[in-house]
Structure 1
Amino acid sequence: MTTVNHEPAAPDRRRPDPSPTSAGPVRPRRPDRDLVHGLLMSAPALGGLIAFVGVPFVYAVVLSFHNVRLGSPLAPSFFGLEQYRRIFTDPDMSGPFLRALLNNLTFAAVVVPLQTALALGLAILLNRKLKAIGVFRSLFFMPVVFPMALVAVIWRLILSRSGDGLLNSALNAVSLGNWGAFDWLGDGLTAMASIIVLSVWQGVGFQMVILLAGLQQIPAELYEAAQLDRASRWQRFRHVTLPGIRGTLVFVAMLTSVLSFRVFDQVYILVKGGGLDEDATRTVMYQAVTTAFDQNNIGQASAITVVFFLIVVVLTLIQRRVMRTGDEE
């Protein structure tokens, strides 16, 4: 006789049990914790950005449409686009503004490549395992710690026209008394160059630290492989160092561009107390501040800042697009 096996068949382990009791209750999906944590951590920075940048800028836009005089007993009157029209058509206002904008562009065009190249050179020079290398790094970074007011006073003593000016005294000693006294700050040809040298000396250490951190992230194995392939120093720099810090270089260049358009402190201090040529070194920020507090024209100064903000935004977007295209290539 044929025997029938009454043992229950083994469950198929390849299929999940569809019964809801074995799977447990279905819990509602929670929001992404990383997103919540990110928003909470960035909330103080976003709050400060809105409070100290967003709100003042919106208020400046509102003031630019009004005739507001500092200390005037008259109430502000609506001006419409009159302030913007005067910036570009009124010779008394358009001339200084366009000259200040040209000075800003000249300053940025020189400082951005010069300061970035010097920072990269210093970073490569200090990216070595030597004794007391930390001391040298601190010395190059020390000018960044000094406030710009102090730096401007120091360079005023260096570039002073009088006989006790350090630069004129040194050149006079080298030329055996035939140099004389040259007005480095008051001469229109050297005034902007003096501001550029001062600014690069004070700010190059900050970019150097950023690039030094980028250099230290490049794996040493890449340099060892390049040496085994008998690559020269220039070839190692071109094919290993530059690709390794490409993103850092882009960040440094964009940061330097933004900071170069904000130049104000050294110009204001040296113009007011150092005999600096005002027309040759006038910047847009200097023009806005003097319009607001020397001419008491808050509405005109607000219009200058709004126009300058839009120009800087456009130039930054163009620079970012060009750098992104270069990275893709």
Structure 2
Amino acid sequence: MSTAVSPSPTPAPSAAAARPTTQRRRSRDWVHALLMTAPALAGLIAFVAVPFGYAVVLSLHKARLGSDRPPAFVGLEQYRRILTDPDLSGRFLHALLNNLTFALAVVPLQTGLALALAVLLNRKLRAIGLFRAVFFLPVVFPMALVAVIWRLILARSDQGILNSLLHQLSFGHWGSFDWLGSPLTAMASVVVLSVWQGVGFQMVILLAGLQAIPDERYEAAQLDRASRWQQFRHVTLPGIRTTLIFVALLTSVLSFRVFDQVYILVRGGGLNENATRTVMYEAVTTAFDQNNIGRASAITVVFFLIVLVLTLVQRRVARGDDA
């Protein structure tokens, strides 16, 4: 009588044998991640890290453009003068205050306007793509062209478009105000032209966030008889919260970099220099008008650290509810 012999069960792989496979997989993932991020990392190193490091080195020297003498090492003297010298520190703090004023006006205004335009254009209407392109069109204009256009609009003479319109509406009683030269309206003029030029970019980002919200959420809100405002408050805003934070942070960083429009309008449009002087404008004029590369580099390094701290604080506050 024969007896059947059952095959012995295959032993399960031990944890020690599976560990090398997991480690090889993780190593392979790290290699793939490094290869995919290599172009971006190379760009950051080449265009951010290296220039910033070179600026730090120059800030420790007394260097002038076109001078036959080599840069002289002065240590932290440039920083001391920027922060303690009455004249230099006063100019720097005044420029920094102008930067903060500009940012406090542009960030909420541009973000709110971009959100309103995104909600308005997030509809399935005929030729809606044309309207989106029209609102995005100012973004593709270079800032130099935008500054020239608004210089024509805000010109002091009656030939300025805004003054000419006011002259017609007031029957000749008002229409020669110096919008760019007056300290009361100079910064407001820069804010308006900056918002006009940049709002389309933020609008596109927010529009993409709105289109990513599932339609089922709005259908459920309609079944609950929620009004348009309630849908916006309880469905739209939570759905684009992360996108909105990103747009606010991006707008903040870009607003601190304001330079082109100020420089062009000061040099060719009669813009009030004292009322609109920013830190980047101060650094550029120090480097090329005063021929002091070391001090200009120190200004940019200090300003970079200030913007970095403000950005981290803003990011922490904006994400405080998720912490």
Band of TM-score, shorter chain: over 0.9
How does 1:226-237 map onto structure 2 within 5 Å? 226-237=221-232
* Structure 2 counterpart of 1:43: 38
Following superposition, the deviation at residue 31 of structure 1 comes to 5.4
Q: Calculate the TM-score normalised by the size of structure 1.
A: 0.93
User: What CA deviation, in whole Å up to 9, does each residue of 1:14-41 have, x standing for no partner?
Assistant: x5278xxxx9xx9894554433222112
* Structure 2 counterpart of 1:131: 126
The DSSP-based 3-state class of the residue aligned with 1:189 is: coil
Give the letter aligned to residue 104 of structure 1: N
Give the letter aligned to residue 278 of structure 1: E
Which of 253, 263, 272 does residue 258 from structure 1 map onto?
A: 253
* Structure 2 counterpart of 1:97: 92
User: What CA deviation, in whole Å up to 9, does each residue of 1:180-216 have, x standing for no partner?
Assistant: 3010000001000000000000000000000000000
* Structure 2 counterpart of 1:161: 156
Larger C-alpha radius of gyration, 1 or 2?
1
User: What CA deviation, in whole Å up to 9, does each residue of 1:221-249 have, x standing for no partner?
Assistant: 11011011011111101110001000100
* Structure 1 counterpart of 2:312: 317
User: What RMSD over aligned residues (CA atoms) do the two structures have, in Å?
Assistant: 1.7
Residues in 2 aligned to 1:127 and 1:280: alpha-carbon distance in whole angstroms: 39
Following superposition, the deviation at residue 72 of structure 1 comes to 2.0
User: What CA deviation, in whole Å up to 9, does each residue of 1:87-129 have, x standing for no partner?
Assistant: 1221221111111000001111111111000000000000000
* Structure 2 counterpart of 1:249: 244
Give the letter aligned to residue 96 of structure 2: L
Segments of structure 2 that go 5 or more residues without pairing to the other structure are: none
Q: Does residue 191 of the first structure (1) align with residue 192 of the second (2)?
A: no
* Structure 1 counterpart of 2:5: 9
* Structure 2 counterpart of 1:120: 115
Greater CA deviation, 43-52 or 149-158? 43-52
Residues in 2 aligned to 1:52 and 1:31: alpha-carbon distance in whole angstroms: 31
How does 1:34-113 map onto structure 2 within 5 Å? 34-113=29-108
Residues in 1 aligned to 2:12 and 2:285: alpha-carbon distance in whole angstroms: 78
Segments of structure 1 that go 5 or more residues without pairing to the other structure are: none
Residues in 2 aligned to 1:115 and 1:266: alpha-carbon distance in whole angstroms: 16
Following superposition, the deviation at residue 8 of structure 1 comes to 3.7
* Structure 1 counterpart of 2:196: 201
* Structure 2 counterpart of 1:152: 147
Which of 271, 275, 283 does residue 276 from structure 1 map onto?
A: 271
Following superposition, the deviation at residue 266 of structure 1 comes to 0.2
* Structure 1 counterpart of 2:210: 215
Give the letter aligned to residue 252 of structure 1: V
The DSSP-based 3-state class of the residue aligned with 1:34 is: helix
* Structure 2 counterpart of 1:172: 167
Give the letter aligned to residue 307 of structure 1: V
Give the letter aligned to residue 159 of structure 1: L
Distance 1:274 1:227, change over 3 A: same
Residues in 1 aligned to 2:219 and 2:29: alpha-carbon distance in whole angstroms: 39
Distance 1:17 1:239, change over 3 A: closer
Following superposition, the deviation at residue 69 of structure 1 comes to 1.4
User: What CA deviation, in whole Å up to 9, does each residue of 1:267-318 have, x standing for no partner?
Assistant: 0000000000001000000000000000000000000000000000100110
Which of 289, 294, 306 does residue 301 from structure 2 map onto?
A: 306
Distance 1:45 1:57, change over 3 A: same
Give the letter aligned to residue 216 of structure 2: E
Q: How many residue pairs get matched? A: 317
The DSSP-based 3-state class of the residue aligned with 2:222 is: helix
Identity %: 76
* Structure 1 counterpart of 2:177: 182
Residues in 2 aligned to 1:153 and 1:175: alpha-carbon distance in whole angstroms: 26
Give the letter aligned to residue 100 of structure 1: A
Distance 1:36 1:231, change over 3 A: same
Distance 1:162 1:56, change over 3 A: same
Q: Does residue 289 of the first structure (1) align with residue 291 of the second (2)?
A: no
Residues in 2 aligned to 1:118 and 1:75: alpha-carbon distance in whole angstroms: 51
